[in-house]
Chains A and B, each alone.
Chain A
Amino acid sequence: MGFHYILRRLAVMVPVFFLVVAMVFFMIRFAPGGPFDSERQVPPEIMKNLEAKYNLDQPLIVQFGMYLRDLAHFDLGPSFKYANRTVNEIIAESFPVSVELGLLALVWALIIGIGAGMLAALKPNSALDYFPMSFSILGICLPTFVVGPLLVLCFGVWLDWLPVAGWNTWEDRILPSLTLGFAYAAYISRLTRGGFMEVRNQDFVRTARAKGLTEGQILLKHSLKGGLLPVVSYMGPALAGIISGALVTETIFNIPGLGKYFIQSAVNRDYTMVMGTALLYFALIFVANFLVDIAYALLDPRVKYE
């Protein structure tokens, strides 16, 4: 993989990102309703002042230009609903929460998924294989918004071991991250099993077995890299899924993360907040996919990107 490939990917990413910015901007502006609609009728003079303050009285294309200019300086503008606060401030506050939740979920997914998958591949078609694999079907068919409430009901309400909501102590973090990571653990376990099953029939594994290594040694020393390749290529979709799944998880557990703000501000027609949070999500997912592709090419010399 050459330097050229990275440059070309970046060269495509920038215009696509610009297109997405434009799409979201005009989509929310052409929609009916505005940020200052409320039950109470605001006097027209005040409305005018409000619109002038946020530049809503300018032509749309001028507003778009101004938005892009600020975006180039990483300034996402003032929030329309949270008075006297900028979007940057709100993101700086809520984003770390979402990142922590997402990373913890990813850790769960990788530990449980790879562990179960390797266990299953060690002795295919035994109880050691069937048990985790049927559990993983459950994980794939039960969506996050069912798993989460069920976990809360079991461990929070009936057993009363863990808190049902909030984000203060370390106990608060267990159920949400487990909820978010569960489905991905299920997928990863299947991919891990598949990857190892494929590698175990390769010549180099047969050689290793012929020279008398135990199955465990073969697994760790010879098939680990090849066996985990499918998991690496799944990391892109997994990261994207965890980022969007966090919307639901943050709602269920009442976590003050970015997802809650994204949905709340969309409902409130808080133009700058919606734009800011959505763009952050898009940027995150673009970057995640990009990094995963590079990692994949580094791990697998058979992959050639022209």
Chain B
Amino acid sequence: MSSLSLTMGQTGVTSEVDIPATHEAGQSLWKDAWLRLRKNRMAVISLAVLAAEALICALTPLIAPYGFETQTLENTLAAPSFAHWFGTDALGRDLFTRVLYGGRISLAVGILASLVSVVVGVVYGATAGFMGRRMDSIMMRVVDVLYAVPFIFLVIILMVFFGRNIFLLFVALGFTQWLTMARIVRGQVITLKQKEFVEAARSMGVRTSTIIMRHLVPNSLGPVIVYLTLTIPTVILEEAFLSFLGLGVQAPMASWGTLIKDGVDVMEISPYQLVFPAIMLATTLFCLNFLGDGLRDALDPKGAKD
């Protein structure tokens, strides 16, 4: 994504203390990042598309033209029309409505599972980084080992054997994604803990847990947010993968994954059933990836590009 790289301002993010005096007063780290992000056209477009999508999905019950399960049996597998923008499915349900409701589930699973991974990763990484020495090397060795475990198979087994409930789904998916987060946070914490403000806090007798939560975690938020943005599409994709196999969200609920699966069953008669949910899913993944890249350039200019 070389086209995404943009020229950085004179202020590096990691050295937020030495903003030159000539700089406008009160320019915060976040304001700087926002200015940088705004110059990145693809990231801004992605952000706008995602915001619109999130808003529409949040308001779905109010704006959906039909009920989620309302059937018109004399009008099944219809092509797109003014009455049914995306056509209707095999049971005569309005596909546009179902894509909106499916988006709610897909986005919710993506966001909630990513938050689970953030919480686990941040706590684990911050603890390892702060403790240092033996504790750190043991904890990070565990992460190295876990990297080799293909968690998706465990999630499949978990979902099949313990009933396919949605709560389990996002907790399980969240637990597959925390490893890289833990590494990132640990790296940040190791650099931060040598800074003077941590020393000052410690000399004042602040408790270790308070130092971690109040000083170290907030200061490593930049890379965390960047990685969070890149975790959400991964999780949405994994949920769709499971739902496509029939192991994720269960009827009558629907996600983009289950809609794509239903679409595949009837694609020879009515390709719209496959194409519309697929476009929504692909657009979302596309925008999240671009936004993540843009945020990385804006918030974490020194961060590795993959």
Contacts and interface: CB of A to CB of B under 8 A. Distances in A.
Interface SS of chain B: helix
Contacts of B274: 146, 149-150, 153
Interface string A140-166: 111111100110110001000000000
A194 to B, nearest CB: 8
Contact of A282 (B149, B245, B286, B289): B149
A247 B245 contact: yes
B282 A146 contact: yes
B37 interface: no
Interface string A7-42: 000001100100010011001100111000000000
Contact of A141 (B247, B267, B271, B286): B286
A68 interface: no
Interface in B132-181: 145, 148-150, 152-154, 156-158, 160-163
A243 interface: yes
Contacts, number: 102
Given A23-B154, A143-B241, A146-B278, A33 B161 contact: yes
A244 B289 CA distance: 22
B56 interface: no
A140 B289 contact: yes
B153 A282 contact: yes
Interface in A213-269: 240, 243-244, 247-248, 251-252, 262-263, 266-267, 269
B244 A145 contact: yes
Given A145-B241, A153-B268, A28 B157 contact: yes
A285 B147 CA distance: 11
B153 A278 contact: yes
B281 interface: yes
Interface residues of A, number: 46
Interface in A32-87: 32-33
29 contacts: A13-B148, A27-B157, A27-B161, A31-B161, A137-B286, A140-B285, A142-B278, A143-B281, A144-B241, A145-B240, A145-B264, A146-B274, A146-B282, A149-B260, A149-B267, A149-B274, A153-B274, A197-B2, A240-B150, A244-B153, A247-B156, A248-B241, A252-B264, A263-B245, A266-B156, A267-B160, A274-B157, A278-B153, A278-B157
